[in-house]
Amino acid sequence: MEARRVVVTGIGTFTPLGNNLNDYWNGLLNGVSGAANITLFDASKFKTRFACEIKGFDPTAFMDRKEARKMDRFAQLALAASDQAVADAGISKDNVDIDRVGVIFASGIGGLTTFQEEVINFAQGDGTPRFNPFFIPKMILDIAAGQISMRHGFRGPNYAVVSACASSTNGILSAVDTIRLGRAEVILAGGSEAVISAAGVGGFNAMKAMSERNDDPATASRPYDKDRDGFVMGEASGVLVLEEYEHAIKRGAKIYCEIAGGGATADAYHLTAPHPEGLGARNVMIAALKDAGMQAEDIDYINTHGTSTPLGDGAEVKAITEVFGEHAYNLNISATKSMTGHCLGAAGVIEAIACIQSVIHDIIPPTINHFTDDPELDPRLNFTFNKPQQRVVNAALSNTFGFGGHNACIIVKKYKP
């Protein structure tokens, strides 16, 4: 029996480069940095005082004020992106069976800001346990998936996925498998993260994971540059409407691309560091190619995990050269985190969206902020430094890796009826 094909029929996204698909894509192509001084809290005493924030987001444009107060920022962003995606896909109760439409939504951390605020309020009080009755529903990871389903009335499979910075890629893969298995016809899949807060920034600073280039935030995220000094935190939300191909054709949906396949592996190595030889990264790309029924030579573009950390960038490059061999030098490689920062659990979905746009428009977004070659990285590789490059992109691969050794990879390809 032939496997059920999965296509993308709707997209919604909020990123540091723009609050819709077109603005996000144009920001990538124009090499815009989303990094600036933090405005969401007073970061003046922190080692890192900048991040890639979403600009101009007003939750009351998507929900009433009372409803917004019941949600953490990550869930507000999730709901707003779902509205965009549903409208883009043209889904309604008139053209889908809502019992066969699900939501699989991811976050790496969830409502950290809500947790921080409630605990601080308790600690500053007289010890009497006075907590907001919405404390737990605002904080828990699964609430974004729940809120999206309630908003749109979707009654299919509904749950959250968490695997640190690989979360939303794993969420997309779970959605693809659910459709392939016939358990749903349509799934809204993606992820949201919004932890630019004292707890989020302070926690990652304590791990020495983030850049401290406070004198020049716009160039702080510099994957593959010799002087990279850590990632820049970002926030984002993205939703893909994934649909079984025949179902999409029957209802006359526009189709962006096809999800060819994907994979997931573990490093089984270290709490936060990648395997130094890129073992898990190598294995996950091999698994994705096998799942997609593709050869290494079929891939034209890789959107790398590329966080701008000294260890991570090098390990991923080793894995790419091992998996792709001589074809690695025909690939375009880029790290869009150089512009968006690292959006943690939402990184996978917004980078998958970048790959989808690349496949549609035959252009590679750049890796910005490259100043000095790293002698440890193979100079023959095309990292698409500083400027976009036009080329035919039949298939693109997106890598996301997370603390705990979680690796996830997805391949998108041009839609062919």
Q: Dmax over Cα atoms in the chain, in whole Å?
A: 66
Distance CA 270, CA 131 (A): 37
Distance CA 261, CA 291 (A): 5
Q: Tell me which of 165, 257, 355, 409 is the catalytic residue.
A: 165
Distance in angstroms between the alpha carbons of the first and the last residue of the chain = 19
Q: Which residues pair with 334 in a beta bridge?
A: 303
Contact 18, 27 (CB under 8 A): yes
Tokens 């605002």 label which residue? 138
Cβ count near 227 (within 10 Å): 12
Map residue 121 onto helix, strand or coil: helix
Annotation marks residue 305 as catalytic = yes
Q: Tell me which of 152, 247, 275, 342 is the catalytic residue.
A: 342
DSSP letter, residue 1:
-
Sign of CA dihedral 71, 75, 76, 79: negative
Q: Tell me which of 152, 247, 275, 305 is the catalytic residue.
A: 305
Annotation marks residue 342 as catalytic = yes
Distance CA 415, CA 417 (A): 7
**Which residues are the active-site residues?**
165, 305, 342
